[in-house]
Structure 1
Amino acid sequence: MNAEGDASRGAWLVRNRMTLVSLLAVAVYAIFVQWIWGWPTLFRQWLEIGIVPVLSALALLVATYFIRCYRIYDYFPKETRGRFLQLLRVTQVHNLLNIMLPFRAGETSFPLLMRSEFAVPLARSTSALLLMRMLDLHALFAAAGVGLVLEHDDLRLGWLLWGMFLVSPLLLFFLKGSALGFVERRLPEKLGKLLEDIEAGLPANAVVFVRAWLMTVLNWSTKVAVLAWVLFTMGVAPLGACFGGALGGELSSVLPVHAPAGVGTYPAGITAGAISFGASAKGGAFDLLASASVNAHLLIIVSAVAGTLLSIALSPRR
C-alpha cells in the first residue's frame, strides 16, 4: 500500500509539476513584495496614481505575454501545435524565473522547459532563444528610439533614420547562410550534429523570420509605450524622457548586475534612462522621477504575477 501511495503521489507531482513551480514562484513574489514594501503601502500608491490608468496599463502588459507566447508557438509549430495554453504556462514560468534570479540565470530554464514539455533539443531551443533575445534587444532600442524622434528638430530625418534601423534585422538574416557555412567548414566533424541542431533553431526561411520579427516589434512597442505612458501619467517630463526611462529599466534587466526581482536596479535603470533622454536630475522633479520609477517597476512585477496566475487558470489539466 505504501509503495502504491508513493507511486501515486509521484505520478501526481509529475503531472502537475508546472503548476507547482508556477504557484511556488507566485508565492515567493508575494512574500518578497510584502517583506520589502508591504502590500497596503503599494495599494495606497496605486490609488494615488489612479485605478483606471493602472488597470489599463496592467492589461496591456499582460497582453504582451500572449504575444511572446505566440511568437514561440509560431516558431516551433510541430512541437507546440494545439498546446498554446501549456506553452503560455511554460513561458510565464520562464519569465518569472528571469525576473527573480540574478545574472540572467533564469534564461537557462527556457531550453530545459522546452525539452521536458515539448521534447525540443537543448541546442535548438538555445539557439532560438539567442536569436529571440537579439531581436528583443533590437526592438527595445527601436521602440525607445521613438522618444528620440519626437524630440528631434527634423522629424522627417528622424523618422527616416528610425525606419532604417527598424528594418536592419531583415538585412542580417540573409547573411545567415554564409555565416553558418563559414563555421561548418572550420568545425570538427563530431560537432556537425550540434551545428545542425543550432541551425534548426534558426528561422528556416524569410517568412518565418519576418513573422518572429514583427511579433517582437509589436511586443516591445506595446511594453515600452505602456511604461512611457505610465511615467508620463505620473508627471515625468518631457515625453522623450519617459521613453528613455522605459528603455533604461528594460536594459537593466539584461545586465549581469541585475538584482533578484530587479529590486533597486530596475528603478535605477528607469531613472538613468529618463535623465539621459532629458529629464531633470534636480529638486522635486528628480524626487518625482524616483517615485515614478519605483511604481513602474512594481507594475512590471504585478503584471508578471498576474500573467502567471492567468496562465495557470487557463492551462488545461493533463
Structure 2
Amino acid sequence: MSRKGSLAVSFVILAVFAYFLYEYDVIPRLAQMVRRLHPVYLFLSLLVYCSVYFFRAKRFALLFPQIKTLDLSAVIAVHTFFNNVMPFRSGEASFPIILKKLFGVDASVSSTALTVARLLDLFSLALLFLVSALFVAAGRWELMVIPAVALVAILLFAFLAFKLVKLLKGRFAVFATVFAFLTEFVSLRKVFYMLGLSVAIWVFKFLSFYFILRAAGVNLNYFQTVFASTFAELTTVLPVHSVGGFGTFEAGLVGGFALLGFKGSYALTVAFYFHLLLLLMSGLLAFGGWLYLSRRLR
C-alpha cells in the first residue's frame, strides 16, 4: 500500500472512531471518570511503566554492550513514542536511525536486534496470555489454542529466519553483516537471558496497566488485565495501526473487555481513557529521553 493510501486508511479509521465516541457519548463519561481518578494509582502506573523502559534497555545492552543502559533507555523512550503515534508501525524506523546517528551502529544490525526483540516480545506476550487464559477463561479451549499455536509459530519463524540469513550471507553483504552480528552477540545463553528480561518487561507492563485501570475504579485482577489488554497490544503489531493507534487500540481493548462481560459504552470509555493515559506517559518519557539525547548531540 502506498503512503497516501496508508494515510487515507488511517484517517478513515479515525473518522469511524470519532463517530463511535459520539454515538456512545464517551466524552462526557470520560470527563466524569477523570474527575474520580485516584492519584496514587496513577503515580504507581507511571513508576512501573518507567521500569519497563529500564528492562528494555537492559535487553538491548546485551546486544550493544558498547552503549550505556541509560543511553539506550532514552533511545527506547523516543522510539516507543514514535511507534505509538505513527501509523502502520512506521515508528520502528526511528530505532535504527537514532542508533546510527548517535552511536554509529549499522542500520542492518540494529534492525536485526529490533527483530530479535520483537520475536521475544511476541513469545512472552503469547506465554502470558496463555497463563492468563488458564485463570480467566478456563474451559474455553479456543482461547488457549491461539497463544499455544503462536508460541510454536514464533519459534518456527525464528529458526527459519536464521537459516535464511545463513544461506544468503555469502550472496549479499547485508546478510553477511547480520549473520556476523547474530553469531557474535546472540548466543543461546544470551537468548534465554533476553527472554527472561522480555517476560519481565511484559509482567511489569501489565502491572502498569493494572494500576491504570485501578486508578479509574475498574476492578479487574492482574490476570484479567493481562487477558483483556493483550487484545489491544496485538493491534499495535498489525499493519492497520492507525495514527496514534486511535480506533484500532480501543477496538482490541473493547474486544477483551467484552469477553469479561463489560458493556459497550462503558468498555469504550475505559478503553479511550486507558489509551490516552498510556500515550501521555509515553509522551512524558519520550520528552525526557529527547532532552537527554539532545545533550549528546551538542
Q: TM-score range by the shorter chain?
A: 0.7 to 0.9
Q: Give 1:195 deviation, angstroms.
A: 2.1
Contact 2:83 2:92 in 1 (8 A): yes
Could you tell me which residue of structure 2 aligns to residue 199 of structure 1? 179
273, 296, 300: which one pairs with 2:278?
Answer: 300
Structure 1 residues 117, 316: closer, same or farther in 2, change over 3 A? Answer: closer
Contact 2:233 2:249 in 1 (8 A): yes
Looking at structure 2, the residues matched to 287 and 51 of structure 1 have their Cα atoms a distance apart, in angstroms, of 24
139, 142, 165: which one pairs with 2:124?
Answer: 139
Q: Percent identity?
A: 24
Contact 1:249 1:266 in 2 (8 A): yes
Q: Give 1:250 deviation, angstroms.
A: 1.0
Q: Give 1:220 deviation, angstroms.
A: 0.9
Q: Which runs of 5+ in 1 are unaligned?
A: 1-35, 155-160
Q: Which runs of 5+ in 2 are unaligned?
A: 1-20, 22-28
180, 195, 199: which one pairs with 1:217?
Answer: 199
Structure 1 residues 179, 286: closer, same or farther in 2, change over 3 A? Answer: closer
1:317 aligned counterpart, secondary structure: helix
2:135 aligned counterpart, secondary structure: helix
Task: Map 1:216-295; keep pairs closer than 5 Å.
Answer: 216-231=198-213, 234-235=217-218, 241-275=224-258, 278-280=259-261, 285-295=263-273
Contact 1:69 1:88 in 2 (8 A): yes
1:103 aligned counterpart, secondary structure: helix
Given the two structures, how large is their TM-score scaled by the length of structure 1?
Answer: 0.70
Could you tell me which residue of structure 2 aligns to residue 69 of structure 1? 57
Task: Map 1:63-142; keep pairs closer than 5 Å.
Answer: 63-78=51-66, 80=67, 83-142=68-127
Q: Give 1:298 deviation, angstroms.
A: 1.5
Looking at structure 2, the residues matched to 90 and 180 of structure 1 have their Cα atoms a distance apart, in angstroms, of 26
Q: Give 1:313 deviation, angstroms.
A: 5.7
1:280 aligned counterpart, secondary structure: coil
Structure 1 residues 229, 123: closer, same or farther in 2, change over 3 A? Answer: same
Looking at structure 2, the residues matched to 53 and 72 of structure 1 have their Cα atoms a distance apart, in angstroms, of 29
Looking at structure 1, the residues matched to 199 and 174 of structure 2 have their Cα atoms a distance apart, in angstroms, of 30
Amino acid at match of 2:229: A
Structure 1 residues 188, 118: closer, same or farther in 2, change over 3 A? Answer: closer
Count of aligned pairs:
262
Amino acid at match of 1:125: S
Amino acid at match of 2:274: A
Looking at structure 1, the residues matched to 86 and 294 of structure 2 have their Cα atoms a distance apart, in angstroms, of 28
2:87 aligned counterpart, secondary structure: coil
Please list the CA deviations of residues 235-283 of structure 1 after superposition, one character each: whole Å capped at 9, or x if unmatched.
36687553232101111111111111111211111011222xx3225xx
RMSD: 3.7
Could you tell me which residue of structure 1 aligns to residue 39 of structure 2? 51
Q: Which has the larger radius of gyration?
A: 1
Looking at structure 2, the residues matched to 210 and 306 of structure 1 have their Cα atoms a distance apart, in angstroms, of 32
Contact 2:78 2:290 in 1 (8 A): no
Please list the CA deviations of residues 125-182 of structure 1 after superposition, one character each: whole Å capped at 9, or x if unmatched.
111111111111111222233321213558xxxxxx99x96xx68x959x85x86456
Contact 2:206 2:225 in 1 (8 A): no
